[in-house]
Amino acid sequence: MNVQHDAGDPRRTALINAELRRLAPDVVTLQEVCYPHASDQLAALVAGTGLSTTHQATVLDHMPPDADVYGGTALATRWPHRLLDVVEGQNAEGLYWYTLAALIDLPILGPLLLITPTTFWKTDAEVWRERQMLDVADLDARHRTQLPTIVAGDFNAVPQSSSIRFLSGLQSLHGRSVQYHDTWAVAGNGPGHTWTVDNAAGAAEIERLVGQPGWRSRIDYVFVGSPHSHPDARARILGVELVGDRPVDGVWLSDHYGVLAELEYTTSA
């Protein structure tokens, strides 16, 4: 989930925390998390969940522009994890976004690679998102384990875009191709819009950034590696749903809905 930093109603962070405690996920990727901050938003988001966290601010050697306002990418896991790699993305306007790659030590099954990108948000920035997806493919090739890799985050791109088609195995980029399963395309019901005018918090941002009153898009994803890259293991997609797609006590959790996927991992060993 993109948690929309600390914008809007000050109750949002606590409400997202309550939802995380209710859902009890094992692996979480979060975008636009404030840190450092007057109050540590990441700690507040995962309080009482038992999850261990890493925020990009703790591993970067500099503070990117606007990070004090918009925060950055974070991950949280039920089992121990260690950060393996951070890839910096910078566009022509000097905006920075980062992709984190971490290894999670799953009980019994062994290490699992998690890659969490946050991509450039402007609707005309697809060329930069393409470069970031090539970085994701490089990270997976460099650090892949026996278990199918999870790639999850705010991609700021609709399913028909070249960056998402590349990840889904539907087109090549620069002579390269990969294939991951889009969990919503496999098991979701309905369009799965995650950034939509139906969300009052999202509508305000959409009016500012897009200016179209009927805008509804699916731009947040959970992908999982295919058997082509992981012949000795499977990750079966048992279900997927949206998180935060209704207001709680009149408060929308974020301008984005989150995506919750249930995966079953098995190995042939």
pLDDT at 159: 98
- In the chain, domain spans: 12-267
The whole-angstrom separation of Cα 126 and Cα 119 is 9
Q: Which of 92, 45, 88 is nearest to 67 (CA)?
A: 88
CATH superfamily, domain 12-267, is Endonuclease/exonuclease/phosphatase (3.60.10.10)
Averages of pLDDT over each 10 residues, the chain, 269 residues: 95 98 98 81 96 93 80 95 90 80 96 95 92 96 97 97 98 97 98 98 94 96 92 95 97 98 92
Q: How many CB atoms lie within 10 A of CB 249?
A: 7
Structure tokens at 34: 């404030």
Instruction: Count Cβ atoms within 10 A of the Cβ of residue 7 and give its class: 0-12 exposed, 13-18 middle, 19 or more buried.
Output: middle
Q: Do the Cβ atoms of 148 and 233 come closer than 8 Å? A: yes
Q: How many CB atoms lie within 10 A of CB 125?
A: 19
pLDDT at 23: 98
pLDDT at 229: 84
pLDDT at 39: 66
The whole-angstrom separation of Cα 96 and Cα 175 is 26
Instruction: Count Cβ atoms within 10 A of the Cβ of residue 57 and give its class: 0-12 exposed, 13-18 middle, 19 or more buried.
Output: buried
